[in-house]
Amino acid sequence: MSIEVYLNFNGNCREAVTFYAEVFGTEQPEIMAFGDAPPSPDFTLPEEAKDLVMHTRINIKGSTVMFSDVFPGMPFVVGNNVSLTFVGDHIEEIQSAFHKLKEGGKVAMELQETFWSKCYGSLTDKFGIEWQFNLRSEEDCG
């Protein structure tokens, strides 16, 4: 289990993560753009979103730092563009932390299977801290 930092950018994520990789001497990151995601029949991806970064990460001295651009039209406020990501190997620890942190908070996405994780969810806790939850193993979300 680990807590990782997730940084959001307003269209300049690719430039930012490349810069940080150079600063900290890491390998250049693999970048997944929104246009690389499997298409959904329920949603047409806007042209301006296709090259934006959906997800990438670098390792800085043993800490994983993840990055993405916000989706066009989504709010972006400098200073509020950081969330903490709880990454676990067991569904019980993910579910327990999620359900405790959602009390008095606001759920953005209930725990569910996504194309990148068997169990993912997000919320803002009662103190205004944004959290993402990601199951590292292949266990089902339940």
Q: What are the tens digits of pLDDT across the range 74-95?
A: 888 877 788 888 888 899 989 9
Q: Please give the Cα distance from 135 to 5 (Å, whole number).
A: 15
pLDDT number for residue 142: 66
Phi, psi of 77 (to 5 degrees): -130, 115
pLDDT number for residue 126: 84
Measure CA 64 to chain center.
Answer: 12
Judge whether residue 44 has pLDDT over 90. Answer: no
Fold (CATH) for 84-135:
3.30.720
Domain boundaries, the chain: 5-69, 84-135
Judge whether residue 141 has pLDDT over 80. Answer: no
Phi, psi of 66 (to 5 degrees): -105, 155
CA torsion, ordered 44, 49, 54, 57, to nearest 10 deg: 160
CATH class for the domain made up of 5-69: alpha beta
Judge whether residue 5 has pLDDT over 70. Answer: yes
Mean pLDDT of the chain: 89
The domains spanning 5-69 and 84-135 adopt the same CATH topology: no
Q: What are the tens digits of pLDDT across the range 17-42?
A: 998 999 889 999 999 999 999 888 88
Question: Once rounded to an integer, what is the mean pLDDT over residues 48-56?
Answer: 95
Q: How many other β-carbons are positioned within 10 Å of the β-carbon of residue 97?
A: 15
